[in-house]
Chains A and B, each alone.
Chain A
Amino acid sequence: MSFAGFMVREGWRAWRRSTLAGGLAVASLMILASSLLIFWGLHQSVEIARDSLLGGFEIEAFVTPGRERNLTEVSARLASRDGVASADTVTKEQAAELFAERHGEDLVALLEENPLPASVILSYDPGAITAERLALEASEILADPDIEDVAFEGELLSRFEEVSDRTLLIAGTVGAVIMLISILLTMQSVRIAARTGESWAKAVFLIGGTRGQVGRPLAVSGMISGLLGGGIGVLLVTVTQSLLASSKWVASPDWRAMVVALALPVLVGWLSASGAWKMRN
């Protein structure tokens, strides 16, 4: 009879024997896997929102009056800046048309001249710009003699970054506390579960069993708890994510996160069970 077979069979028996404490271990390992995946998903969602915001982020650079003839050249120059996805020119005439469209008034007819400046609208690649870099970017563009002024939604970006950083910090702290509690709960419940097999362990020692023949099946029982708890946690979170997948703010299930969320409870279950039984001869 092989040792591996003995180990797996007795590990499975030890897990079945553990009843309530085993169930508690599975539940706490499920919480561990779920909280890991939920935090991972939240982080991904914040990244999606950030990318979405930055993907549509624009700086409008207004050309110095009298230098409108340089508009194409200015546009090309600005387009070559790092992170710029596109540079669209708006001539004085187009600006007036836009004003008329938006406000219903023909400014040129009213003032008999067009006071609106030509401009270049810069769009940035997602992730190429941050709230911190924004002021620097604006001041560098403003240093161009052909540019008189710049306009951007700096406050919005800055506030988003502040809120998202705070959200991730709070979620990360809460997630870490939940994971720590679930690990402690797992260690305790696995220890109690192992004690339910005390007579089995004593019997194995009495009939000439080795430390490995007692300890390894218990470790296998901890891994089974981890596999079940992690599996249920991954399944629950993945199904929920799939149901919410129509929302563009919810990240799709990530296989790497799933592997980690499954492996971590198995590891915690194994380590907890390995240390649960004080080996005796």
Chain B
Amino acid sequence: MIELMQVSKQYSRGRGVHDVSFRISKGEWVLLVGDSGAGKSTILRMIYGAVRPDSGDLIVASKRLSQVNDNSLPSLRREMGIIDQDLTLVDDRSVYRNVSLVGEVHGWSKKKTKQQSLRVLNRVGLHAHLDQLPTKLSRGELRRLAIARALVAQPFVLIADEPLIHLDTETAGSIIELLEKIHAQGTSILLATHRSELFDGYPVRRLLIEDGEVREES
């Protein structure tokens, strides 16, 4: 489903990833674990095409990324649910309209957009906040909103970069429970986090990333 084959990326400032290879199968829940700057975000960004590798190749949804040009990337991203580190929510759109933006971009009908948006907002527990602006939400609710937006198009994989950052343990636990439900319904999950201890007891596979390389797997 997702496969990285000896992928390397070097930035001018020196950091990057070196010779990274791993595979994520359908229905897996994988954690990329490591300190800040270890290369977790770079790996995620390469998977959804925001960063191109210097060498090696990736296979995402049966497509070799080296053969996917910039014009075709949007259609590949529509098959994935992506949450980046700063969530990139639109502050002047309500909770509902942040999620329905996906339907507008994907060209869905109004009916389908509404149905899908309400369904997913209900699923993440934000149905009571439809008309609120993101600025009025708590940190945990903002994560839920980002998850809702990532899930509305029913992606095969949910990719999230540090979704638990700045959350207290209780709120982080509720987000992990939500992720578990999503995983239980068949969606693969790939998370980058430096708080892997919070996932103890969950069916996750951990990949330790250090200095841009995969060190261990558990």
Contact = CB atoms under 8 A, between A and B. Distances in A.
A203 B84 CA distance: 9
A1 B104 contact: yes
Nearest to A202: B88
Given A208-B74, A208-B75, A203 B103 contact: no
A207 interface: yes
Contacts of B71: 210-211
Contacts of A208: 74-78, 102, 105-106, 153
Interface in A1-20: 1, 3, 6, 13, 16-17
A206 B106 CA distance: 12
Contacts of B108: 1
A206 B149 CA distance: 10
Nearest to A13: B92
Contacts, number: 67
Interface in A204-224: 204-211, 213
B74 A17 contact: no
A75 B73 CA distance: 85
A207 B78 contact: yes
A207 B149 contact: yes
Nearest to A196: B92
B70 A199 contact: no
A168 B73 CA distance: 55
A178 to B, nearest CB: 34
B113 interface: yes
Contact of A203 (B74, B76, B89, B107): B89
A279 to B, nearest CB: 9
B118 interface: no
Contacts of A210: 71, 74
Contacts of B153: 207-208
A209 B90 CA distance: 14
A94 interface: no
B74 A199 contact: no
Contacts of A281: 49-50, 70, 73-74
B73 A6 contact: no
Interface of B: 48-50, 70-71, 73-78, 82, 84, 88-92, 98, 101-110, 113, 149, 153
Interface of A: 1, 3, 6, 13, 16-17, 199-200, 202-211, 213, 280-281
